[in-house]
């Protein structure tokens, strides 16, 4: 059930003319930072969408509750598509001194605020509780090399590794791509516990580049945005391939919906989910190596 602020932000402000006016008003009133649970997140003053939703307290409420339940001391966490560092900041407070966090963000503007967020949370934590945090300014993908990052001028959380209607060719940035497996080998990391993925349809490419670590990490958990049309645009694959790949690696896949985790048991369930997610519609999915006994959030 939506709160009043969720309804206003996601429904009343939905028409483009109204949203354009509202976005200007939001930018004029954005705070420099907001508290989210135990963490502080430094906001991009030019982003009315993600940072506006954080200000209104309507951003990924189910996912944030789920993360607070999953993350524990000592975990190794990967935040891929870190943006201004929301999930990185939360992880810093949950994994504590023996934990390790890698935040991947190739967009220079977002990376700037990510560094501010990390610094702000380092200052909040006692020295003996601070985890090791590394910020990586390249895009995780299926291969090593260079790519073009296409910028959405109205939504800093919607930059993509493929051209789309809202982007301008002239604004595209040249960035590096690396596989997660390669980056982790360089850092001598041999297992991960939690991977958060939000890369606008490029998730399939990311997990392909993380196949070694995901297959060999016995307790790995994946929280991923699942946007079928984005997967098709990003890598010309059917989104069924993404779900099937995770299942082949022994992940049990759950849809995060209405404060509960719904197990997708087979390809029939996969296709049912895909059929409900047309156009810009997306869902969050959770992948775990073991069946969950408690599916509430």
Q: Is the pTM of this model over 0.85?
A: yes
Mean pLDDT of 91-117: 98
Does residue 106 carry a pLDDT above 60? yes
Provide the pLDDT confidence category of residue 10 given band limits of 50, 70 and 90: low
Does residue 94 carry a pLDDT above 70? yes
pLDDT tens by residue, 46-61: 999 999 999 999 999 9
Please indicate whether residue 276 or residue 20 has the higher confidence score (pLDDT). Answer: 276
**Cβ 207 vs Cβ 237: under 8 Å:** no
Question: What is the greatest pairwise CA distance in the chain?
Answer: 50
State residue 166's pLDDT score: 78
Mean pLDDT of 1-15: 50
Domains within the chain, CATH numbers bracketed = 4-288 (3.40.50.150)
pLDDT tens by residue, 235-252: 989 999 999 999 999 999
Does residue 30 carry a pLDDT above 50? yes
State residue 20's pLDDT score: 77
Mean pLDDT of 194-209: 98
Mean pLDDT of 189-207: 97
Question: How many other C-beta atoms are found inside a 10 Å radius of the C-beta of residue 221?
Answer: 22
Angle, CA of 239, 240 and 242, to the nearest 5°: 65
Mean pLDDT of 166-195: 94
**Cβ 234 vs Cβ 201: under 8 Å:** yes
Mean pLDDT of the chain: 93
Provide the pLDDT confidence category of residue 6 given band limits of 50, 70 and 90: very low
Categorise residue 194: left if φ over 0, alpha if ψ from -120 to 50, beta otherwise.
beta
**Percent with pLDDT over 70 in the chain:** 94
Strand extents, DSSP E, the chain: 33-36, 39-42, 76-80, 100-104, 132-136, 139-140, 145-149, 173-178, 194-197, 221-226, 252-257, 260-264, 283-288
Provide the pLDDT confidence category of residue 169 given band limits of 50, 70 and 90: confident
**Cβ 226 vs Cβ 277: under 8 Å:** yes
């Amino acid at each position: 059930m939506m709160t009043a602020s969720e309804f206003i932000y996601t429904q009343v402000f939905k028409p483009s003319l109204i949203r354009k006016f509202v976005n200007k008003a939001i930018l004029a009133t954005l705070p420099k930072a907001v508290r989210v649970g135990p963490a502080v997140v430094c906001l991009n003053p030019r982003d009315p969408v993600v940072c506006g939703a954080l200000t209104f307290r309507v951003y990924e409420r189910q996912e944030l509750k789920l993360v607070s339940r999953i993350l524990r001391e000592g975990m190794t966490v990967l935040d891929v598509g870190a943006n201004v560092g929301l999930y990185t900041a939360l992880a810093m407070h949950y994994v504590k001194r023996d934990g390790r966090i890698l935040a991947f963000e190739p967009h220079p503007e977002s990376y700037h605020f990510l560094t501010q967020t990390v610094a702000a949370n380092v200052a909040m934590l006692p020295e003996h509780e601070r985890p090791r945090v590394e910020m990586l300014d390249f895009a995780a993908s299926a291969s090593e090399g260079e790519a073009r990052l296409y910028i959405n001028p109205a939504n800093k959380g919607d930059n993509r590794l493929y051209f789309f209607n809202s982007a301008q060719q002239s604004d595209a940035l040249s960035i590096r791509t690396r596989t997660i497996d390669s980056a982790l080998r360089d850092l001598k990391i041999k297992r991960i516990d939690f991977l958060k993925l939000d890369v606008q349809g490029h998730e399939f490419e990311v997990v392909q580049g993380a196949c070694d670590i995901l297959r060999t990490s016995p307790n790995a958990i994946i929280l991923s945005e699942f946007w079928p049309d984005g997967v098709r645009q990003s890598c010309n694959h059917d989104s069924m391939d993404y779900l099937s790949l995770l299942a082949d690696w022994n992940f049990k896949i759950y849809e995060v919906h209405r404060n509960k985790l719904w197990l997708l048991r087979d390809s029939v369930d996969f296709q049912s989910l895909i059929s409900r997610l047309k156009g810009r519609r997306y869902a969050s999915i959770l992948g775990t190596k073991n069946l969950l006994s408690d599916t509430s959030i």
